[in-house]
Structure 1
Amino acid sequence: MIDFNNSSFVKLAPADAEATAQELAGLLIEGERVAAAFRGMRDYVAFTDKRLIVVNVQGITGKKKDFTSLPYNKIQSFSVETAGTFDLDAELDLWFSGLGKVRLEFTSSVDIRWISQFIGYYTL
């Protein structure tokens, strides 16, 4: 579960952006596109060209889902930490106006520098 009050959860790995876009089709506004997607065990996040969508899959069957929309224009600052020799995960910290800090942890296979550039493009 992605818990914004507890920043530690399953590491996110790259996922198919097109398949994720199809899952989110009912939520995306006209012209909005999914640029990248990342999945944990059941939960996932999608980086669109307008916002970050965090999906928390709930229940035994997974039919119930919580969709959290985090617009880039509400990001006050952000930080990335690359994977190291002993610390094999990469991290993205985002500070949102009215929400506070959101941390996403990624597997070492994720290009965290690309994510940093992507977030920078939409916030700076």
Structure 2
Amino acid sequence: MGLLDGLLGNASETDAQEVQLELQQVLAPGETVRGAYAVFRDLLVFTTKRLILVDKQGVTGKKREYLSLPYRSIERFSMETTGHFDLESELKIWVRGLAEPISKTFRNNSSIHEVARVLAEYAL
């Protein structure tokens, strides 16, 4: 999967070492990036300690919001796959302390299945 997949909303796996360098100022000492997925311009980053959601904002994407979710605070998550007429799949993550789930939209089933599998590996 490449740049076009990311622009279309397909989660594309991103080089973990590249993301490690990009997030160097955000990561705790000894924390390493285990996997990263780009959805549009945003990132879902799985580290040894937490899930980091990077929301790139503005025209250039230079402004960013980092949402840090320790794995222990993830209470549950759900995955809704595509159908005949609904071409978008959705991942929802419920976090302790938040009333509404965090939601990410994908354009195909294969990408959401991969992200949900990795989320299950780290959060369960």
Task: Please tell me the TM-score bracket, short chain as reference.
Answer: 0.7 to 0.9
Q: Which letter does structure 2 place at the counterpart of 1:35?
A: G
Aligned residue number for residue 53 of structure 2: 54
| Deviation of 1:39 (Å) | 2.8
Any unmatched runs of 5+ in structure 1? 1-9
Q: Which letter does structure 2 place at the counterpart of 1:13?
A: A
Q: d(CA) in 1 for partners of 2:36 and 2:51?
A: 10
Q: d(CA) in 2 for partners of 1:11 and 1:47?
A: 19
Q: Deviations over 1:43-88 (max 9, x none)?
A: 3322333322112223444332211111211011111112233222
Aligned residue number for residue 12 of structure 2: 14
Question: What are the residue-to-residue correspondences of 1:24-39 with 2, within 5 Å?
Answer: 24-29=23-28, 30-39=30-39
Question: What are the residue-to-residue correspondences of 1:1-124 with 2, within 5 Å?
Answer: 11-18=9-16, 19-29=18-28, 30-40=30-40, 42-100=41-99, 101-108=101-108, 110-124=110-124
CA RMSD of aligned residues (A): 2.4
Q: TM-score normalised to the size of structure 2?
A: 0.73
Q: TM-score normalised to the size of structure 1?
A: 0.73
8 A contact 1:72–1:119 mirrored in 2: no
Q: Deviations over 1:7-63 (max 9, x none)?
A: xxx8353142333332112222314223131231x3332233332211222344433
| Deviation of 1:108 (Å) | 0.7
8 A contact 1:57–1:64 mirrored in 2: yes
Q: d(CA) in 2 for partners of 1:15 and 1:54?
A: 14
Q: d(CA) in 2 for partners of 1:25 and 1:34?
A: 14
Aligned residues: 114
Q: Which has the higher contact order (CA 8 A, sep 6+)?
A: 1
